[in-house]
Homo-oligomer: A and B are copies of this chain.
Amino acid sequence: MAKSEKISEAVVRRLPIYLRYLSYLQQVGVTTVSSQQMGKNLDINPAQIRKDLAAFGDFGKKGIGYDVNYLVEKIRQILKLDQEIRVALVGAGHLGHAISNYNAFLKDQIRIAAIFDSDPAKQGKQIAGITIQPLEELKETVKERHIRLAIITVPAAAAQSVADLLIEAGIEGILNFAPTTIRTEKEVRIHYADVTSSLQSLAYYLT
């Protein structure tokens, strides 16, 4: 009896955490879970978990808890992981290699469908079975292969122009590993995953 409020970013960031724990419960054969048990394991307030989930529907049963399989299915739907999502990766350096070979997405239907690099020496070579292409082919390939998300693993100096190219090609969301802020007027979602910033903010808490 919930729904139709505006969903905050904080909630959306927690959904993958819930999904991850629920998938684990599936693996170990647990069929029902309470918000209390989830909260204890994930270090999140149980009331928050209930509120987060209730924003999307009445997924639980009073007095019982949540059916694990059902909740996994629902969260996958909410996150649009019930369809294959194709991702372009730009920047075939060390980090690009690592991510391309990281197949943990696969069970979520997230698939790296194209890899680009501006270095001619890398073009034509393969990573994880995907041929590295020049940036000139990006726009066409993105459209042909119905690629909707992108991962940027190029140096900071190149990130903005790569992002512009991706956005022009119609990409809807970008995960940016380059240590730089990306600016755009278009309606594109940009998430940041900068190792340096994460480490630097960690350093603040040193005693």
A→B interface (CB under 8 Å): 12-13, 15-17, 19-21, 41-43, 78-81, 85, 87, 93-95, 97-99, 101-102, 104-105, 108, 110, 148-149, 151, 172-175, 179-181, 183, 189, 191, 193-207
Select from chain B the residue with minimum beta-carbon distance to A23: B179
Does A87 lie within 8 Å of B175, measured CB to CB?
no
Q: A15-B200, A79-B200 are in contact. List 7 more A-B contacts (CB 8 A).
A: A20-B197, A80-B203, A95-B102, A105-B196, A108-B199, A149-B203, A175-B199
A81 contacts across to B, CB distance below 8 A: 200, 203
Partner of A189, one of B79, B98, B202: B202
A20→B176 CA distance, assembly (Å) = 15
- Known A95-B102, A98-B94, A193-B193: A85·B201 in contact at CB below 8 Å: no
Does A110 lie within 8 Å of B20, measured CB to CB?
no
List 17 contacting pairs A-B, 8 Å CB cutoff, sorted by A: A12-B204, A12-B205, A15-B200, A15-B204, A80-B204, A81-B203, A95-B95, A99-B195, A104-B196, A105-B199, A108-B200, A110-B196, A149-B199, A174-B202, A175-B199, A189-B202, A191-B198
CB proximity of A2 to chain B, nearest CB, Å: 17
A206→B13 CA distance, assembly (Å) = 14
A119→B203 CA distance, assembly (Å) = 29
Select from chain B the residue with minimum beta-carbon distance to A105: B196
CB proximity of A169 to chain B, nearest CB, Å: 15
- Known A16-B197, A87-B199: A206·B172 in contact at CB below 8 Å: yes
CB proximity of A24 to chain B, nearest CB, Å: 8
Partner of A207, one of B94, B95, B172, B175: B172
CB proximity of A53 to chain B, nearest CB, Å: 14
A204→B95 CA distance, assembly (Å) = 24
Does B183 lie within 8 Å of A43, measured CB to CB?
yes
A10→B196 CA distance, assembly (Å) = 16
